[in-house]
Amino acid sequence: MNETVSDSEQLGPRERGVLEFERQWWRYAGAKEQAIRDKFGISPTHYYQVLNALLDSPAALAADPVTVGRLRRLREAHRRPRPATA
């Protein structure tokens, strides 16, 4: 019998925690940054590096397609050049 590990099981505890954390909505950026430090014990800069790598992961997309899709769209919107204003 050929058993395969599901994509969500390929994610480590930290990666699953990051996806769960990103499902929350934050009213103030400072609150989220402090929560990142408290929950993960890392700087917000390191957290966002981990998150960006996770967004490119097929396992993350399979585990939480709604959250990963939303975050990918946000990331892409931030990467697009903004129109020049007169």
* Structure confidence by residue, pLDDT tens digits, 66-86: 999 999 999 999 887 777 776
Identify whether 9 is part of a domain: no
Q: How many domains does the chain fold into? A: 1
Is 66 domain-assigned? yes
Domain for residue 4, yes or no?
Answer: no
Q: Of 84, 80, 74, which Cα lies nearest the Cα of 25?
A: 74
Domain annotation covers residue 52 = yes
Given this model, what pLDDT does residue 33 score? 93
- For residue 41, is it left (φ>0), alpha (ψ between -120 and 50) or beta? left
Query: Within a 10 A sphere around the Cβ of 64, how many other Cβ atoms?
Result: 22
Give the amino acid at 66.
V
For residue 46, give its domain range.
14-78
Whether residue 8 has pLDDT greater than 60: no
Q: For residue 34, is it within any domain?
A: yes
In a domain, 45, yes or no: yes
pLDDT tens-digit readout, 40-68: 999 999 999 999 999 999 999 999 999 99
Residue 55: partners with Cβ closer than 8 Å, 6 or more residues away: 68, 71, 72, 75
Using the predicted structure, report yes or no on whether residue 18 has a pLDDT greater than 90. Answer: yes
pLDDT at 4 over 60: no
